[in-house]
Structure 1
Amino acid sequence: MPEITRIRPPEDADERGTFTGLLDFLRATVELKLTGLTEQQAFARPVEPSALTPAGIVKHLTAVERFWFAIDFAGLDLEWPWTEDDPHGGFPITPDDTVDSILTAYRAECARAREIVAAASLDDRARSPEGLNFTLRYAIAHIIEETARHLGHLDLLRESTDGEVGE
């Protein structure tokens, strides 16, 4: 497993540098929250009656990155991240999932999103076949919000699982 490096986002950057720096910091924090858990811990539901698991949250964030950046913004013809039974992007886990496979998929989707973001202007509009009209600026801000919200969940689940706290 690769070493996870978190770099504090710049405090005096332009708009793009601020957005991408903050998002990359949050993405690295997501990885840290799953790293170090056993398979059993990562897939456990430590806060009953919630069905949330640490691994499920990271798998969901992988789908969110794909949906917003690759499918909706860039208009790429990729496999839809959710099923017809779960069209709003729940937190499904399959028997083949492992911590390593989930983190590998998350890293790959984040890398694809970074490439898409780097190649576009913040004012560029979504190219989804559905005719969505949001800008890249909005997509980045939304993913910052989504990632930060789910990191709050990961904080609680991680502390409930093994007592680990902190960023």
Structure 2
Amino acid sequence: MTKRVPFTGGEKESLYVALDRHRDAVLWKLEGLDDEQLRRPITPSGTNLLGLLKHLGGVELGWFCETFGRETGPLPFDLDEDEESDLRVAPHESTADILTFYARARAAADLVIEELDLEDRGRSWFGEEVTLRWVLIHMATETARHAGHLDILRELIDGRTGDHNRG
């Protein structure tokens, strides 16, 4: 069952569900594909499904954990060395590795969301103070944006479209 933002829910619950339903859509876009399909570069820049999932895991850890002074654990990329490394899947990284990384990032972000209030403040990577509310809004839109990219890539691979299984 696809999650629905509650029509009369509280602000924090509504923002969380908005993010979480897009996270679920992202994972659904990868279901049923083999490793070659998940890694296949679809655009001239090399964008692929698994690379977008790796990126989303990285931004979840960055925005929810780093911003609020929490540990991220090991990252499978080094943005200082290569600013696009979070979008690429190295040959030694398995599909399972990237799925596990995304699950770990999601769980770490959920813990921050659970523990903090919407007004709690952290420091962004670019130095500005931000609230948990702002981070939730930003991540819901970021995840939705990339879910749209994943939808287009998936359609180009096998014709499957949509944001959840309707069957």
Verify same fold: TM over 0.5. yes
Alpha-carbon distance in structure 1 between the residues aligned to 2:80 and 2:50: 21
Aligned residues: 162
Contact 1:69 1:116 in 2 (8 A): yes
Structure number with greater CO (CA < 8 Å, separation at least 6) is 2
Aligned partner of 2:98 in structure 1 is 102
Selected match of 1:30 from 23, 26, 30:
26
Aligned partner of 1:74 in structure 2 is 69
Alpha-carbon distance in structure 2 between the residues aligned to 1:33 and 1:53: 12
Consecutive aligned runs of 4 or more in structure 1 exceeding 6 Å deviation: none
Contact 2:39 2:51 in 1 (8 A): yes
CA RMSD of aligned residues (A): 2.1
Structure 2 length as normaliser, TM-score?
Answer: 0.87
> Are 1:62 and 2:66 matched, yes or no?
no
Selected match of 2:47 from 52, 60, 84:
52
Alpha-carbon distance in structure 1 between the residues aligned to 2:137 and 2:35: 32
Deviation by residue 1:91-131 (Cα, 9 ceiling, x = unmatched) = 12111222222112111110110011110010001057985
1:87–1:77 distance in 2 versus 1, CA, 3 Å: same
Alpha-carbon distance in structure 1 between the residues aligned to 2:87 and 2:119: 31
Alpha-carbon distance in structure 1 between the residues aligned to 2:121 and 2:70: 10
Contact 2:120 2:131 in 1 (8 A): yes
Identity across the alignment (%): 35
Contact 1:34 1:42 in 2 (8 A): yes
* Structure 1 stretches lacking a partner, 5+ long: none
